[in-house]
Amino acid sequence: MVKKRQILVIGNNTNGCTPKHEKIAYDIGVEIAKSDSVLITGGLGGVMAAASRGAHDANGLTIGIIPQDDPSAANEFCDIVIPTGMGLTRDYLNALSADGVIIVGGGSGTLSEACASYMYKKPMVAIRNLASAVEPYIDDYIDHRKNIKIIGVDTPQEAVKKILELIIS
């Protein structure tokens, strides 16, 4: 049996998540499901719920790795819930569970997950022009180590296509 690709989608939680973020995340979830990959998120609201709903609606498999110890904290579109009880430290579990990462906006929590992914050299793509904490690093590196460049894309379809290319290469 061949392992399925696991794609982490990160971005704005409920606070700061606009309808534009939700639409982009939903479409990314659909595209991930259509690619026969597994969607991983932080399992909560905002971008995480929208991406999970998109993958769920397209008959994909969704995993939510949540910071709480109570699985009921996850959004309703998570097929598998992993309650860590680790708080924000769970960002490292998210990063290590992923073959690649797609970033849709986000604040400091998203930047923390991107940094964890960066340290483990996980391929990353980010949707451009969403005024996020990650925006200054799109099409660049997070620091002097130059571990992995965060590749900028403009559409959900480009995001999934590019992350799949990066995972495979």
**For 91-150, what is each residue's pLDDT tens digit?**
999 999 999 999 999 999 999 999 999 999 999 999 999 989 999 999 999 999 999 999
Write the CATH number of the domain with boundaries 6-168.
3.40.50.450
Tell the residue number behind the tokens 């309650």, with chain if given. 83
Q: Is the pLDDT of residue 24 over 90?
A: yes
The model scores a pTM over 0.75: yes
Specify whether the CB–CB gap between 7 and 160 falls below 8 A: yes
pLDDT at res. 15? 87
The residues spanned by each domain of the chain are: 6-168
Which two three-digit tokens encode residue 73? Answer: 């904290």
User: What is the residue-averaged pLDDT of the chain?
Assistant: 96
Distance CA 156, CA 96 (A): 23
